Amino acid sequence: MSKIGKQPINIPTGVDVNIDSSQVIVRGPKGETKHNLPKAVLVEKKENFLEVSTKDKSKQGRANFGTTRAIIANMVLGVTNGWKKQLELVGTGYRSETDGKTLTLTIGFSHPVKIEETEGISYKVEKSVITIEGIDKQLVGHLAAKIRLVRPPEPYKGKGIKYIDEVIRRKAGKAAKAAGTA
């Protein structure tokens, strides 16, 4: 059994959790999220916390109940605090701007790249930093990865779109290799 799956999920004040037979709905100050439960997982609400367990001791039930507990805990944190990822543009002339619900990236291509805002996710641009915020951790991470994929950082000069806390492993160029062998 999963050690994480056995831990109870605390429900802070201001958060409402409704459990149907196949779905968990979490409402809080920042919004509402839903998650469909796997068939072999059981979620019970007690006083001010939730407990996740398996309906049967099947292999699939044991595999899913720790993941389900983590997803529900992330939903509770998302509706109270929200989730955010920050990306940094590194490179001469690399810019980003928002106009309404569209993020426009000018990153060295012959055309600007436009990324539409997803429902429940917002962009903020300050200088060369893009901040992505929302209540769904999976959507925020997916959108950040999608933006980073437009121009991932390259290992020679480090130019591209990277996460704020990401460390780029740099390679030596041809000139540095030739000088090292001579």
Q: Under a CB-based contact definition with an 8 Å cutoff, are residues 96 and 106 in contact?
A: yes
Confidence of residue 177 (pLDDT cuts 50, 70, 90): low
Among the candidates 30, 65, 80, a domain finishes at 80
> Is the domain of 91 the same as that of 155?
yes
Q: How far is CA 158 from CA 89, 98, 135, in A?
A: 10, 24, 31
Query: Who contacts 72 (Cβ-Cβ below 8 Å, separation ≥6)?
Result: 9, 24, 26, 35, 43, 50, 52
Q: Verify that 60 and 103 share a domain, yes or no.
A: no
Domain presence at residue 180 = no
User: Do 159 and 90 fall within a single domain?
Assistant: yes
Does 157 share its domain with 96?
yes
What is the extent of the structural domain holding 37? 3-80
Same domain, residue pair 96 and 72: no
- Residue 145 pLDDT greater than 80, yes or no: yes
- Please report whether residue 136 resides in a domain: yes
The pLDDT tens digits for 24-45 are 999 999 999 999 998 888 899 9
Instruction: Answer yes or no: do 7 and 76 share one domain.
Output: yes
User: What is the layout of strands, in order, in the sheet containing 9-10?
Assistant: 9-10, 49-54, 41-46
- β-strand partners of 72: none
Asked whether residue 50 falls in the same domain as residue 67, the answer is yes
Residue 170 in domain = no
172 found inside a domain: no
Domain count, the chain: 2
Q: Are residues 72 and 88 in the same domain?
A: no
Angle between helices 59-80 and 137-150 (to 10 degrees): 80
Does 37 share its domain with 54? yes
Q: What is the CATH number of the domain that holds 25?
A: 3.90.930.12
One domain for residues 87 and 157: yes
Domain finish residue from 33, 60, 80 = 80
177 assigned to some structural domain = no
List the Cα angle 39/45/47 in 5-degree steps: 170
**Each residue of 67-126: pLDDT tens digit?**
999 999 999 999 999 999 999 999 999 999 998 889 999 999 999 999 998 888 998 999
